[in-house]
């Protein structure tokens, strides 16, 4: 059942790669719910520990359910290797800690996930790792921000929640020219819609909690990249402990089987909703990567195969209307997650990005009236109808 032919398309790999299998020859992938693995005798155990024989040891290091998820993610991202972690944040954290040291500098996109911002500003400086933010529209000037101590460029595209896009090709070339590690958080697009490795990314991080699970069940993360970089990420995680649980890995490996069809439908639904809402009188603007009115529409078309499942808009009535809108929703869920089969509405200014100052929120485009919709897989007319009736009541 493992990959016999390496010329399959990614959609096929997502369904067909299966490296976890027992002598029972189960068709659906088995779950290896065990914390450690046995040896036949003392000599075999010695050889495994000495690295002379490859075998499972302990689930903080390696577990077949986790390995399968890693193998699938590496195949989908087009990288040599992948290492899975307990959450998206532990993936981002490990990608920094495994490859940087005191005195190093990260050049980071400004519009990053709230907890990534927290890590960059609150914790990394304590260990001597500094950062400079650049805006999505400063990519032309990016080279002038590079310092002698810069070691990594990190960015999210599309960004959460503002849906800013960054030209991966341009940044990839700059990173390569200056020998910097190019690290992309590909959570919003997933490898189904965007493969940063094609534009020179060295590391790709994910919150698997979002679209990869896609059903709001488990936490998980993964870092994909070249073997020698992932080896460092693996060693950091093996020694510090943020392992993905075998159960969550099993859920995520099964989830990947439907990733491509889910992302296709999420994107179709989201584009339709964004197009219709463009004419809604209660909104200042609607933002979606595949809307022609998106300021970086050309970049979206170049590096993404569809726009993804997130739509943002700004209510004319600001904060007050935002609360009224959320209260008037009848079907959409009010919850912190995104990337679910169920459509979700959220208000970043009062939740995920509440820890930022007003000025910092403004810099990443989070206005008081900004609403983020994670468009699910319900019938698109039902989703739209709920949003429209709630907008009527948001005045």
Ligand X SMILES: *Cc1c(COP(=O)(O)O)cnc(C)c1O
Binding site for ligand X (CB under 6 A): 87-89, 92, 113, 115, 156, 160, 185, 187-188, 207, 209-210, 219, 221
Smallest separation (angstroms) from ligand X to the CB of 56: 25
Smallest separation (angstroms) from ligand X to the CB of 87: 3
Q: Considering beta carbons, is residue 122 or 141 the nearer one to ligand X?
A: 122
Please state, in angstroms and rounded to a whole number, the distance separating the CA atoms of residues 195 and 129: 28
Q: Considering beta carbons, is residue 196 or 221 the nearer one to ligand X?
A: 221
Q: Considering beta carbons, is residue 97 or 283 the nearer one to ligand X?
A: 97
Q: Considering beta carbons, is residue 88 or 162 the nearer one to ligand X?
A: 88
Smallest separation (angstroms) from ligand X to the CB of 6: 30
- Tell me the CA distances in angstroms from 181 to 5, 172, 190, one per residue in order: 31, 9, 20
Q: Considering beta carbons, is residue 309 or 317 the nearer one to ligand X?
A: 309
Please state, in angstroms and rounded to a whole number, the distance separating the CA atoms of residues 361 and 368: 9
Smallest separation (angstroms) from ligand X to the CB of 163: 11
316, 369 in Cβ contact below 8 A?
Answer: yes
Smallest separation (angstroms) from ligand X to the CB of 114: 8
Smallest separation (angstroms) from ligand X to the CB of 249: 14
Please state, in angstroms and rounded to a whole number, the distance separating the CA atoms of residues 374 and 346: 8
Please state, in angstroms and rounded to a whole number, the distance separating the CA atoms of residues 10 and 153: 27
The DSSP H or E segment spanning 27 is none
Q: Considering beta carbons, is residue 1 or 354 the nearer one to ligand X?
A: 354
Smallest separation (angstroms) from ligand X to the CB of 147: 25
Smallest separation (angstroms) from ligand X to the CB of 160: 4
197, 169 in Cβ contact below 8 A?
Answer: no
Q: Considering beta carbons, is residue 209 or 296 the nearer one to ligand X?
A: 209
336, 354 in Cβ contact below 8 A?
Answer: no
Please state, in angstroms and rounded to a whole number, the distance separating the CA atoms of residues 88 and 181: 19
Beta strand 203-207 with 181-185 is: parallel
Please state, in angstroms and rounded to a whole number, the distance separating the CA atoms of residues 237 and 243: 7
282, 391 in Cβ contact below 8 A?
Answer: yes
Q: Considering beta carbons, is residue 65 or 186 the nearer one to ligand X?
A: 186
347, 326 in Cβ contact below 8 A?
Answer: yes
Q: Considering beta carbons, is residue 100 or 391 the nearer one to ligand X?
A: 100
Task: Please identify the residue of the shown chain whose CB is closest to the bound ligand X.
Answer: 88
- In the numeric block, the tokens 């000025």 are attached to 359
Please state, in angstroms and rounded to a whole number, the distance separating the CA atoms of residues 262 and 48: 40
Please state, in angstroms and rounded to a whole number, the distance separating the CA atoms of residues 271 and 275: 6
Q: Considering beta carbons, is residue 95 or 394 the nearer one to ligand X?
A: 95
Smallest separation (angstroms) from ligand X to the CB of 50: 35
Neighbours of 125 (CB within 10 A): 11
Beta strand 203-207 with 310-315 is: unpaired
**Per DSSP, which regions of the chain are E strands?**
81-85, 105-109, 130-134, 150-156, 181-185, 203-207, 221-225, 283-287, 310-315, 333-334, 344-346, 370-374
Please state, in angstroms and rounded to a whole number, the distance separating the CA atoms of residues 120 and 131: 7
Smallest separation (angstroms) from ligand X to the CB of 117: 10
CA pseudo-torsion sign 183, 188, 190, 194? negative
């Amino acid at each position: 059942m493992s990959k016999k032919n390496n010329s399959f398309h990614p959609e096929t790999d997502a369904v067909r790669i299966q490296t976890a299998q027992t002598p029972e020859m189960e068709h659906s992938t088995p779950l290896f719910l065990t914390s450690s693995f046995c040896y036949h005798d003392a000599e075999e155990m010695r050889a495994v520990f000495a690295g002379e024989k490859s075998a499972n040891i302990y689930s903080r290091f390696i577990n077949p359910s986790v390995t399968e998820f890693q193998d699938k993610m590496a195949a989908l991202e087009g990288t040599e290797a992948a290492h899975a972690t307990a959450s998206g944040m532990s993936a981002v954290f490990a990608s920094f800690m495994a490859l940087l040291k005191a005195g190093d500098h990260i050049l980071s996109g400004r519009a990053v996930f709230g907890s990534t911002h927290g890590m960059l500003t609150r914790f990394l400086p304590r260990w001597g790792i500094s950062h400079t933010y650049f805006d999505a529209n400063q990519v032309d000037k990016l080279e002038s921000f590079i310092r002698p101590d810069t070691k990594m460029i990190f960015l999210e595209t599309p960004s959460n929640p503002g849906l800013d896009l960054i030209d991966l090709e341009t940044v990839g070339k700059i990173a390569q020219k200056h020998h910097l590690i190019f690290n992309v958080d590909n959570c919003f697009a997933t490898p189904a819609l965007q493969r940063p490795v094609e534009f020179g990314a060295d590391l790709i991080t994910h919150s698997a909690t979002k679209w990869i699970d896609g059903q709001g069940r488990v936490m998980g993360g993964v870092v994909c990249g070249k073997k020698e970089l992932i080896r460092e990420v693996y060693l950091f995680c093996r020694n510090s402990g943020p392992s993905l649980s075998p159960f969550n890995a099993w859920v995520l490996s099964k989830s990947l089987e439907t990733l491509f069809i889910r992302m296709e439908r999420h994107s179709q639904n989201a584009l339709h909703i964004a197009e219709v809402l463009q004419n809604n009188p209660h909104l200042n603007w609607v933002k979606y990567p595949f809307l022609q009115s998106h300021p970086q529409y050309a970049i979206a078309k170049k590096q993404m195969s569809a726009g993804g499942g997130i739509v943002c808009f700004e209510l004319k009535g600001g904060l007050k209307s935002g609360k009224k809108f959320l209260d008037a929703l009848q079907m959409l869920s009010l919850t912190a997650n995104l990337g679910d089969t169920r459509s979700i509405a959220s208000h970043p200014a009062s939740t995920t990005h509440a820890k930022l100052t007003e000025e910092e929120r403004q810099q990443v485009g989070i206005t008081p009236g900004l609403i983020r919709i994670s468009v699910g897989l319900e019938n698109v007319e039902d989703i739209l109808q709920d949003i429209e009736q709630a907008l009527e009541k948001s005045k």
